[in-house]
Structure 1
């Protein structure tokens, strides 16, 4: 079996932040800007608290079988909850989506490269 790569997105909204927590998040906002968004094993947080209370964590995980995406999603949700809870940030409405990259359609460049590879055989 080959390894599968999963991209998991956990979304939610901050809830009941104190003025101090809000100021702390606003001060750290540049490192959590959506333009820096990346899928990472430890999870990458993005938000724009000045505009709206929503946040997104992006996680990268892997597994051997298609069913492993369920465990990867559960790990991502737990990691997001832990990160928020450890810092005392209230949150609500966590929702997750996951993508198995082995099932993702090929882009134009990938299709072209695959066709070249088949022509060499």
Structure 2
């Protein structure tokens, strides 16, 4: 069976942060810049609390069947929630979006490479 790769984005809003928590987030902002965002098994967090109180976690997971994306999404949400709760960061409006890369349309270069390989 083929392994499927899932990309899960978990978004939310920081809520009721203390001045100390805001200072901590600002101090670590360079580590969480959206310019370095990547989908990783551990999850990558990006935010800019000076612009808006929103955050995004990006997770990559795998499964063998199409329905495994549901479990992967649940795991991603749990990891995001755990990261926030461990640090005492209040949050709200947590929501996720998942993509099965095996179902994603091929880009122009990928289509061209496939034609070259088969013909």
Question: TM-score of the superposition, structure 2-length normalised?
Answer: 0.99
Q: What is residue 31 of structure 1 aligned with on the other side?
A: 31
Shift of 1:95: 0.5
- Looking at structure 1, the residues matched to 112 and 104 of structure 2 have their Cα atoms a distance apart, in angstroms, of 16
- Looking at structure 2, the residues matched to 110 and 36 of structure 1 have their Cα atoms a distance apart, in angstroms, of 24
1:1-121 correspondence to structure 2 within 5 Å:
1-119=1-119
- Return 5+ residue gaps in structure 2 as ranges: none
- Looking at structure 1, the residues matched to 33 and 50 of structure 2 have their Cα atoms a distance apart, in angstroms, of 11
- Looking at structure 2, the residues matched to 29 and 74 of structure 1 have their Cα atoms a distance apart, in angstroms, of 26
Shift of 1:118: 1.1
- Return 5+ residue gaps in structure 1 as ranges: none
Q: Following superposition, which runs of at least 4 residues in structure 1 exceed 4 angstroms of deviation?
A: none
Question: TM-score of the superposition, structure 1-length normalised?
Answer: 0.98
Number of residue equivalences: 119
Q: CA RMSD in A?
A: 0.4
